[in-house]
Amino acid sequence: MQISSVGGMGLLDSLLGADGRKSFKRKDSDAGEAGKALEELRGSLYNELRTSEGAKRQQQRFCGPVVAMTFNFFVAVGIILTNKLVMGRVGFNFPIFLTLLHYAVSWLLLAIFKTLSWLPVSPPAKTTPSSSIFLLGAIMAFASGLANTSLKYNSVGFYQMAKIAVTPTIVLAEFVLFRKTISFKKVLALGAVSAGVAVATVTDLQFNAFGACIALAWIVPSAINKILWSSLQQQANWTALALMWKTTPITILFLLALMPWLDPPGVLLFKWDINNSCAILSSALLGFLLQWSGALALGATSATSHVVLGQFKTCVILVGGYILLDSDPGLVSLSGAVFALAGMSVYTSLNLKESKDGSNKQIPVQTPVSKTKTSENGSEDSTVIKTTNDV
């Protein structure tokens, strides 16, 4: 057996030759190096997720502004049309309880992520006051609950026009809280937005007085909610999922307190058949994705930029409501919407211009400056690099 084995190896060597043997060894070495690199990558990624700073870097790496806002756009369009379907054709007239189901499903999914060690680590407790977490959780309950209540009592167009009014509210809140100021051109653009919202709201053919009050009460919590989500992620190294895990239980408690005030009685008497239950569950799953995508977008951009995204969502949802839900906002209302979108477009262009100018001022420009030095033995040219900053 040993002789035949040696003979087989000799035959293999004679067929392959020296180059063939080297090729096999090189392939084995490459496969080992690739496997080692893969293990090192997995280990480094796992270690990154074990710290809040590393998890934040991974979120910024894979979910930049374009990805996060695109994700949020599609989910937002889907959930608004789905919720209108659930509260319209399905007849589930319990918006606060629907919001409660959204956050309950979110908390269940986050608990599964926590069990599987997929949930990013939270920053140390000393970096973020517990009062900020509690305030965000409470405001989320009002922002989300009142949003669904507004969607129940108002048309889709009215609901979207009220959302655009959040932008000037955010600007005012950031001035009060952080002393951030804006230019006069931006004030004029936001004035145009407010005027368009007023026209679209008053002339909406499906105007409802109670729904209008709910929409107005929702604007301020929505603005503060976006500001807090953006600032906590950008300044305290919170990731979207980690912050959701901390705030969701608080939100659920406040939603339970809001149910008796804003929901009609009889939720247990609702017809919980397969079709209705699947529609409500679909809304709840989209609610989790909406909360996640919204948090990613706010962490990657800003509160104002996140609202600016609503100008495109408005057009899509108005058309979707007209096609799918037989919504007819009327010519005057649509004119107000277009005027509001024009003002929002001007505001966006001014924002982009200021952002570009600011980035140009911060980038150092290297300008070569030639100087001639003459030594005792002769002349010698040398180039000195001078760094200048735009001020």
CA distance readout (Å), 249 to 42, 94, 253, 261: 32, 20, 6, 20
Residue 47 contacts residue 247 (beta carbons within 8 Å): no
**Whole-number pLDDT of residue 156:** 66
Strands (E), the chain: 365-374, 379-388
**Whole-number pLDDT of residue 17:** 55
Q: Which residue ranges make up each domain of the chain?
A: 34-63, 66-357
**Whole-number pLDDT of residue 50:** 62
**Whole-number pLDDT of residue 282:** 93
The pTM of the full predicted model, rounded to 2 decimals, is: 0.69
Residue 121 contacts residue 242 (beta carbons within 8 Å): yes
**Whole-number pLDDT of residue 28:** 53
Instruction: Tally the C-alpha atoms within 13 A of residue 149's C-alpha that lie toward its C-beta.
Output: 26
- Mapped onto helix, strand or coil, the DSSP state of residue 126 is helix
Mean pLDDT of residues grouped by 10 in the chain (391 residues)? 47 51 53 60 56 69 79 86 85 91 95 88 82 93 90 75 78 80 79 74 66 88 90 84 93 94 88 91 93 87 71 62 63 73 76 65 47 43 37 30
